[in-house]
Structure 1
Amino acid sequence: MTDWHSRWQNNKIGWHADQVNQNLIDYFSKLDLVDGDKIFVPLCGKSVDMFYLLKRGLRVVGVEMSEIAIEQFFSDNKLEYSVSKVNDLILYEGDRIQIFCGDFFTLEASHLVNVKAVYDRASLIALDKALRQKYVNHLNDIISKDVRVLLLTLNYPQHQRVGPPFAVSKLEVDLLYGGSFQCQELQNISDIENEPMFLLQGVDFVEKAVYCLQKVRM
């Protein structure tokens, strides 16, 4: 957590993307959402994808540890907001968007009432292997049955570089989510040529995968 705050304080946020993720655009329909539905974005940073989701007519709920990231999101997108305390979390709230500042693992189901979908572009892969099962278990505890998850992952030889982002294989996705979710792989492509930092670090390959998951068990 200290390292995460330090990265934001020193603007070392190489993972932040300035453009909306193309996979979100391409596979948005898989979430089966309509105007006014609510979507949850865990470990959201200041992702421009959240503003895209707002423009699609959705209500957005995020969670992020860094106040700097949250305040930059509202500032960058010229959105007004209020700040209040909700239990152990700080809530930043604007028009159709709420971002909780604090630890993902302190979120409760009451914070995600009426959430119909989850968008995970960089949450699971931001966590090392020791935390990933805990993350999935907690997500399962706080979302309702039938919620759909659009999950994006990377896979590469983990011994060839230090994460994050960490390598997550299809086998691991099946093991992590298979007990409570139906898992459909939508895409799995080799894309090392578009990852110059991985090439510089001597990584042999990078696979990018997209999954649509649906919670089927409580």
Structure 2
Amino acid sequence: MTMSGFSHIFPTHAIASPAEPGTVSAGKSREKARLMDAGANAVFWQEKWERGETGFHEPQANPLLTRHITALDLPAGARIFVPLCGMSQDMVWLAGQGFHVTGSELSDIAVRRFFSDLGLTPDIADAGPLRCFSAGTIRIFAGNIFDLTPDLLGPMDGIYDRAALIALPEDLRRAYAAHLLSLTGPVPELLVTLDYDQSCLKGPPFSVDEAFLRKCYGQAYAFTLLENRAVEGGLKGRCPASENVWRLSPPSP
């Protein structure tokens, strides 16, 4: 698959605001820069998968998930969305707990490898501009997450985001957060973030502090910090960092 096929993984025209009078040129410049960032981000991750540079992939379920999934208070059979899922074993663990798991992932390579490693032959169907791979209680939409719609996704009861929000630079994080809310509405979410001095590392993963979360999600959710722990040895061995586990709760009816 060519790099050009991923030049618009996060097409920000979908969330752009109308320009105020007198700001058209500035708005076009910002939009152009944002689209360039989106294309660069897509190419970055696609090339990681093509070269097999998947050190970010964990071979087992993340202990933060296994410790805190009960905070979402979801029954067996609930539908959980895992955005930018890669080939995460967290999905296997969630399915093993009786949940119906839906992932979204840019890389077709990652999705095929995920099912192959499990010894499964998934059903594959076109879903608009995406492809939907499914086997048992796990399905994954391969392609641009911004091409995923509420109708394609279907109702969700919860979200688990361990490595999506922190994988994106700031402008794309804002777009992603808005799109995620448009897909699922405010459903309970288990969110894992990193907090560190961004000047120490270029990222990804990127630092996402509480202020940014409240700016993106504050009107839709209440926040509970479930766990805060120091990253042993520092992030990539270079700078102190903390890993935070948040429960995002929608308003009570």
The Cα shift of 1:114 comes to 2.6
1:78-97 residue pairs with structure 2 within 5 A?
A: 78-97=119-138
SS at match of 2:163: coil
State the partner residue of 1:125. Answer: 166
The Cα shift of 1:152 comes to 0.1
224, 245, 249: which one pairs with 1:210? 245
The Cα shift of 1:191 comes to 2.1
1:111-150 residue pairs with structure 2 within 5 A?
A: 111-145=152-186, 147-150=187-190
Q: Give percent identity, aligned residues only.
A: 35
Q: For the residues of structure 2 that align with 1:74 and 1:64, how far apart are their CA atoms?
A: 13
Residue type at the aligned position of 2:213 = V
1:24-63 residue pairs with structure 2 within 5 A?
A: 24-63=65-104
Q: For the residues of structure 1 that align with 2:147 and 2:251, how far apart are their CA atoms?
A: 23
Q: For the residues of structure 1 that align with 2:206 and 2:168, how far apart are their CA atoms?
A: 7
Higher Rg: 2
Residue type at the aligned position of 2:169 = D
Asked if 1:198 corresponds to 2:236, the answer is yes
Q: For the residues of structure 1 that align with 2:196 and 2:232, how far apart are their CA atoms?
A: 9
What TM-score, normalized to structure 1? Answer: 0.92
The Cα shift of 1:176 comes to 1.6
SS at match of 2:53: coil
Residue type at the aligned position of 1:177 = Y
Q: For the residues of structure 2 that align with 1:178 and 1:93, how far apart are their CA atoms?
A: 34
Q: Which has the higher strand share?
A: 1
Residue type at the aligned position of 1:206 = A
State the partner residue of 2:205. Answer: 165
State the partner residue of 1:102. Answer: 143
The runs of at least 4 consecutive aligned structure 1 residues that moved more than 6 Å come to none
Shift of the 191–2 alpha-carbon distance from structure 1 to 2, 3 Å rule, reads closer
1:149-160 residue pairs with structure 2 within 5 A?
A: 149-160=189-200
2:223–2:249 Cα contact (<8 Å) kept = yes
Residue type at the aligned position of 1:162 = K
What TM-score, normalized to structure 2? Answer: 0.80
1:192–1:198 Cα contact (<8 Å) kept = no
The Cα shift of 1:198 comes to 2.2
- Unaligned 5+ segments in structure 1 are none
Q: For the residues of structure 2 that align with 1:63 and 1:148, how far apart are their CA atoms?
A: 18
Residue type at the aligned position of 1:212 = R
SS at match of 1:18: coil
- Unaligned 5+ segments in structure 2 are 1-41
The Cα shift of 1:31 comes to 1.3
State the partner residue of 2:5. Answer: none
SS at match of 2:68: helix
SS at match of 1:115: coil
CA RMSD, Structure 1 to Structure 2 (Å):
1.4
